[in-house]
Structure 1
Amino acid sequence: MKAITVSALVLLLAFGAMPIAHAGSAPTTIFSCAIGHKTVSVTSVGGQLTYHYGTARKDELTITGIPSSGNIFEMSQRFAGMEYQLRFKNGTYSYIVYDSEGNSHSGASATSGLVVMQGTKTIVDRSCTKFSEFSVSIEDFGIPEDMEAYSAM
């Protein structure tokens, strides 16, 4: 009995020092859309959201945002329908991915895309080739709410 207990303790200590893979450790894509020959996407791992822009072979730009870091913001507002957006800040540039539901009563179509701003000036505004929407509620990440000056709409 004593030998079994000691052996179990040795195994526990040996394996306890090894990193444990968590079921949710693989990146989860929460937004993705094609813009021409490029793709813009946002992935989530362990409470961190990462913005990706590039081709299928290579990211040209990645920005990892952590809610407490001050480089990621969210906005939910009503336009013709609900609009949701995430803004990733990198220096004076902001990269905003968004989806907007549209509204058949007002004739507004659903739209999604990427807006790039320098300061509060829009320098790029590209729509997704095909409508895409966030696969989860962005309000569940505890991300600070953005200012109206950074609205993609």
Structure 2
Amino acid sequence: MNKTLLGMVIIGVSATPVMAAEFTCQLENKKYVSVIVDPGKTPQYRYGTLAKPEITLPLNEKGARNIFVGQGHFIAGESLYIRFQNGPYSYLLYQGEGRGWAFKGLAVYKNNKLINKKECQNWNSFDLYDILNYQIRTDPALELYDSPYSFDPNSNE
């Protein structure tokens, strides 16, 4: 009995609860992109100034089903993103690097084609790999052979 209780206490002490987190950076256009994740709640995406967001997603409960996390591994690099899909648009907070490139910031796609990207001004503002601690669905686009989201955003120009 004492051994079982001791084992339960050690497991309980060593398990760190996942807390709410905010991944925010100022972009090269002086606007901010933020993703807020909180266990048990729908992640939120915000883009705009600190005083007035221009885009906030998801728009409704239905939009909560269109939030995904993706991870790409490729020769000499890897990437990670959280994607908020709204109709034909996908807004990705993205972090990745490979041979000859590195990018952390916002990538916007329309119909799976990159239409805009803005790099974070302060690279140390967040580490997106922490988002893997949250129970966000894996992006079904990763099942595609040529997923547009898992590679260097510079390659889609």
Q: What's the TM-score bracket when you normalise by the shorter of the two chains?
A: 0.5 to 0.7
Structure 1 vs Structure 2 CA RMSD: 2.9
Give yes or no for contact 1:85–1:152 (8 Å, CA) kept in 2. no
User: Does structure 1 residue 128 correspond to structure 2 residue 120?
Assistant: yes
Amino acid paired to 2:86: N
Provide the rounded CA distance (Å) in 2 between the counterparts of 1:68 and 1:57.
24
Amino acid paired to 1:76: Q
Provide the rounded CA distance (Å) in 2 between the counterparts of 1:48 and 1:69.
6
Please name the residue that 1:70 is paired with.
Answer: 65
Change in Cα spacing, 1:113 to 1:124, as seen in structure 2 (3 Å) is same
Give yes or no for contact 2:44–2:58 (8 Å, CA) kept in 1. yes
Give yes or no for contact 2:47–2:53 (8 Å, CA) kept in 1. yes
Please name the residue that 2:4 is paired with.
Answer: none
Give yes or no for contact 1:47–1:141 (8 Å, CA) kept in 2. no
Question: Any stretches of 5+ residues in structure 1 without a counterpart?
Answer: 1-23
Please name the residue that 1:115 is paired with.
Answer: 107
State TM-score, norm by structure 1: 0.67
Change in Cα spacing, 1:47 to 1:135, as seen in structure 2 (3 Å) is farther
Give yes or no for contact 1:67–1:142 (8 Å, CA) kept in 2. no
Provide the rounded CA distance (Å) in 2 between the counterparts of 1:123 and 1:50.
22
**Aligned match of 1:58 in 52, 63, 70?**
52
- SS at structure 2 position matched to 1:138: helix
Give yes or no for contact 2:105–2:117 (8 Å, CA) kept in 1. yes
State TM-score, norm by structure 2: 0.66
Provide the rounded CA distance (Å) in 2 between the counterparts of 1:123 and 1:68.
21
Identity of aligned residues (%): 30
Provide the rounded CA distance (Å) in 2 between the counterparts of 1:68 and 1:56.
23
Change in Cα spacing, 1:43 to 1:69, as seen in structure 2 (3 Å) is closer
Q: CA deviation at 1:88?
A: 0.3
Change in Cα spacing, 1:98 to 1:34, as seen in structure 2 (3 Å) is same
Give yes or no for contact 2:79–2:150 (8 Å, CA) kept in 1. no
Q: CA deviation at 1:82?
A: 2.8
Provide the rounded CA distance (Å) in 1 between the counterparts of 2:24 and 2:116.
18
Provide the rounded CA distance (Å) in 1 between the counterparts of 2:106 and 2:119.
6
